[in-house]
């Protein structure tokens, strides 16, 4: 047998995270993660569970009793929603206007469902008329949509109109809110969303590991009345109900430190005020957008569909997108990301989320991005971008 590995002390680089997630973690959240562990059935932890659920309801703008952090990343809360609401033989209508609509389809198929699509180009939202036609034609049991599409930088407007159409045909509505919860306006109850899931590492600025999920009584009734068990034991909400419901009975060992983290992240949301937080994201991201455009770059979506928390910026002709990403990481310890799917190579995805959504980060990003572009002979004006962003930041105060 070989000798024990000689591994040094953990010293990851100190990055500024302005990609599609994770975002910079607030120091208070990091501090919360360093506090002592207790057992996952300890009376003190039961109180923490109650507090997390209360805080999560506030962020989702819901009174749903079934509001929990799923043990896992945002994809776990996504699969918990779809895998429990889609039974074998059910039909789920999913969007085609972004990468994560495709992930919805994949999960629904794995759950035994039949997938049908409602089409829209990448970079555009779903049109209510197209949704109505698709639902009338297919009569789905479940309709899914992405509220904030991380792959395209597009926000879905007209949510209440979409949910009303679905409910008129007795379909449950599942919303992907991974890049919207805690960052842009989201009103689960008022908009008629039956189930919504999110990731903690985006606008909540919390490490991944405990991911928000909420279901109303109508959705949970379907979960509890299934004819056969979901294919995942770990994500079976009828079993998790025993742990996160009134009984607080054992199901699995919860990620205690991650629950501490999301509690503190949600406490920061409550202290700031959810609507004030939405306003901050729009103001800081608005300065970023203004600066990018003044510099000479273009946004991917139209202004009316712009997603403040995730800015898709078009790569200028003649510029190597990967080279810019690598330059920012190596020279500036600054993370952004490239495009996915249909937009691979065409856009950069620049996050403005949670603790990362600060004016100093916007200025740093614009200066670094501008320098990296000039190195590739792009026709841009860094000073114009910085001045425009500064002016926009001043106007928003």
Model confidence pLDDT, tens digit, residues 122-175 = 999 999 999 999 999 999 999 999 999 999 999 999 999 999 999 999 999 999
In sequence order, what are the residues at sequence separation of 6 or more whose Cβ sits closer than 8 angstroms to the Cβ of residue 8?
none
Model confidence pLDDT, tens digit, residues 118-136 = 999 999 999 999 999 999 9
Answer yes or no: is pLDDT of 397 > 80: no
**How far apart are alpha carbons 319 and 253 in whole angstroms?**
48
Region 264-283: mean pLDDT is 98
Predicted pLDDT at 15: 97
Region 17-42: mean pLDDT is 96
Q: By percentage, how much of the chain surpasses pLDDT 90?
A: 96
Model confidence pLDDT, tens digit, residues 5-18 = 999 999 999 999 99
Answer yes or no: is pLDDT of 349 > 80: yes
Predicted pLDDT at 2: 79
CA–CA–CA angle 84, 196, 129 (5° rounding)? 100
Name the average pLDDT for the chain. 96
In sequence order, what are the residues at sequence separation of 6 or more whose Cβ sits closer than 8 angstroms to the Cβ of residue 246?
none
Q: What is the DSSP string of 227-276?
A: SS--S-STT-HHHHHHHHSSS---SS---HHHHHHHHHHHHHHHHH-HHH
Q: pLDDT band at 393, cuts 50/70/90?
A: confident
Region 99-128: mean pLDDT is 96
Q: How far lies 56's CA from each of 22, 73, 181, 263, in Å?
A: 19, 16, 10, 9
Predicted pLDDT at 395: 63
């Amino acid at each position: 047998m070989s000798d024990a590995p000689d591994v040094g002390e953990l010293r990851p680089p100190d990055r500024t995270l302005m990609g599609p997630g994770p975002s910079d973690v607030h120091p208070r959240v990091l501090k919360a993660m360093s506090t002592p562990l207790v057992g996952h059935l300890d009376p003190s932890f039961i109180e923490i569970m109650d507090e997390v659920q209360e805080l999560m309801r506030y962020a989702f703008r819901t009174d749903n009793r079934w509001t929990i952090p799923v043990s896992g990343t945002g994809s776990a809360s996504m699969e918990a929603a779809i895998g429990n609401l889609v039974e074998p033989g059910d039909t789920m209508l999913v969007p085609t206007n972004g990468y994560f609509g495709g992930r919805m389809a994949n999960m629904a198929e794995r759950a035994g469902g039949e997938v049908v699509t409602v089409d829209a180009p990448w970079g555009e939202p779903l049109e209510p008329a197209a949704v109505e036609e698709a639902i009338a034609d297919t009569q789905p049991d479940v309709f899914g949509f992405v509220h904030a599409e991380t792959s395209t930088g597009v926000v879905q407007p007209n949510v209440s109109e979409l949910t009303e159409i679905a409910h008129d045909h007795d379909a449950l509505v599942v919303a992907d809110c991974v890049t919207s919860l805690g960052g842009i306006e989201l009103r689960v109850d008022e908009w008629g969303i039956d189930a919504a899931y999110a990731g903690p590492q985006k606008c909540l600025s919390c490490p991944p590991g405990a991911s928000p999920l909420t279901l109303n009584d109508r959705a949970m009734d379907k979960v509890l009345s299934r004819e056969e068990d979901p294919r995942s034991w770990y994500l079976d909400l009828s079993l998790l109900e025993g742990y996160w419901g009134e009984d607080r009975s054992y199901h699995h060992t919860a990620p205690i430190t991650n629950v501490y983290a999301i509690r503190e992240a949600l406490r920061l949301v409550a202290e700031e005020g959810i609507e004030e937080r939405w306003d901050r994201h729009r103001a800081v991201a608005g300065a970023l957008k203004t600066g990018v455009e003044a510099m000479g770059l273009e946004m991917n979506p139209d202004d009316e569909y712009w997603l403040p928390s995730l800015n898709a910026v078009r790569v200028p002709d003649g510029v190597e997108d990967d080279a810019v990403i690598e330059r920012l990481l190596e020279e500036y310890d600054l993370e952004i990301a490239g495009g996915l799917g249909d937009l691979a190579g065409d856009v950069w995805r620049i996050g403005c989320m949670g603790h990362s959504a600060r004016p100093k980060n916007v200025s740093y990003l614009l200066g670094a991005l501008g320098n990296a572009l000039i190195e590739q002979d792009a026709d841009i004006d860094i000073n114009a971008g910085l001045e425009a962003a500064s002016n926009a930041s001043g106007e928003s105060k």
